[in-house]
Amino acid sequence: MPAFGAAAMPDGETIANRLDSGVPIWEVHRVMNDVADRLIAALHDGPFETPPWTTFLELLRAELDADYSGIIFKPPDRGPGGVVELFAGDDAPVEVHQFYRESFYRSDPVMGGTLREGQVYDLNDVFDETNDYHRKYRQQILEPRGVRHMKVVRVTEPSGVTGWMFIARRDKPFHQRDAELLARLSAHFRRSLRNHIALEGELLHARAADSIIARLNIGWLTLDATGTVVQTSAHASAILDHSAALKIGKDGRLVAMRSSANGVLQSAIAAISAEGSARPQAICVSDDPWLNMMLTPFAGVPASPDRTSVMIAFLQGETRFGARRHEQIAELFGLLPSEARLALLISQGASLAEAADKLAITLETARSYSKRIYAKMGVRGQADLVRSILTSVLTLA
């Protein structure tokens, strides 16, 4: 990543160089405000980067001529494995990280909670050279990382997650104005950390919900008022890849290949787009391979900067993984492969005659299989068979 400080200052100077060059005080304030504005913008953009705050940390390191800049945060109940460390500069040797987790994590002088909120501390403010433990920490954790001069500020966002922002150098001490800049950034750091925690929480909930839906063999797509696909779940993509019955056209709109199904689909899209409160509509997109859809309006229309999703299409159908589902049914209920294939078709809504036709067996053979299936599964008919399969652990496979 480029040195942002070099691009921001005349003649490639960083803010640290400018502060030592004897420029007028008004120029120093102008430069400080300019740098602070860029850092604040990068700090608030940080939660949307991967890894978070990459641009901010590189910019902070470059502008303050630091060898290392970092952000560390952790929820109050997390151990060393739950600490997140993000940095710009050279990383510490692996053995230092391991030694820290084994020996120093629980009594870290910096992360121990004694630093006052929003106050910038120097290394000498945190460590007591008369304390053997502190001396050992500096020798075995900080010095191998080249940290001899450091400024650190602590914040805690409303949910209880505490974060620390660092800058460090090997040789040259930091200027007082470096500390003033960190203090100025600390309130923005707290807000940015709060946004990051909230965003991660929403993403976790979304991933969990999507995983549950996918395990029920259901994928989803959101559509705008024209039937154009806005978002697609991974499982819906797998269903679409496996089936030729439903496609996303070159114009981005959802189209069923069977004309009768497409007519129903487009009518449902138009109805939901026009009324908003139109009832959900079930659509049989295809029998072979089987693909069903439930098109329903959003309860609350989410905002989007480009297109607005006004409806969601839930898809349930065969995928490459679903093609092996009869093997799982055979294992769970002790059925023969031929019996499991019939049980799978019945659970997908096929009549006994339709299942016999798809399996290329006679109706009498299908009836014979079904009797053995009912006996082995302990059910009394097709309805019980469907209920047993749809409420079994197979929905989590």
Task: Note the pLDDT tens digit of each residue in 267-286.
Answer: 999 998 887 567 888 898 98
- 270 and 199, same structural domain? no
pLDDT tens for 231-261 read 998 889 988 888 888 999 999 999 999 999 9
Residue type for position 268? A
Instruction: Kindly state whether residue 232 falls inside one of the protein's structural domains.
Output: yes
What span, in angstroms and rounded, lies between the C-alpha atoms of 147 and 140? 11
Question: pLDDT band at 347, cuts 50/70/90?
Answer: confident
- 337 and 313, same structural domain? no
Instruction: Kindly state whether residue 370 falls inside one of the protein's structural domains.
Output: yes
CATH label of the domain that carries residue 278 = 3.30.450.20
The phi and psi torsions of 273 (rounded to 5 degrees) equal -65, -35
- 241 and 153, same structural domain? no
pLDDT tens for 37-86 read 999 999 999 999 999 999 999 999 999 999 999 998 877 666 655 678 89
Residue type for position 155? V
Where in the sequence is the domain holding 310, given as residue range(s)?
Answer: 216-317
Mean pLDDT of 316-337: 76
pLDDT tens for 137-189 read 888 878 887 788 989 999 999 988 999 999 999 888 998 889 999 999 999 99
What span, in angstroms and rounded, lies between the C-alpha atoms of 43 and 155? 14
pLDDT exceeds cutoff 60 at 19: no
Instruction: Kindly state whether residue 210 falls inside one of the protein's structural domains.
Output: no
Residue where a domain stops, chosen among 262, 293, 317: 317
Report whether 18 contacts 9 (CB < 8 A). Answer: yes
Tally of structural domains, the chain:
3
CATH label of the domain that carries residue 182 = 3.30.450.80
- 167 and 68, same structural domain? yes
* End-to-end CA gap in the chain: 43
- 198 and 220, same structural domain? no
| pLDDT computed for residue 79 by the predictor | 61
* CA 277 from centre of chain: 31
Q: What is the mean pLDDT of the chain?
A: 82
pLDDT exceeds cutoff 60 at 304: no
- 135 and 67, same structural domain? yes
pTM of the complete model = 0.62
DSSP output for 19-58: HTTT--HHHHHHHHHHHHHHHHHHHHHGGGSSSTTHHHHH
Instruction: Kindly state whether residue 185 falls inside one of the protein's structural domains.
Output: yes
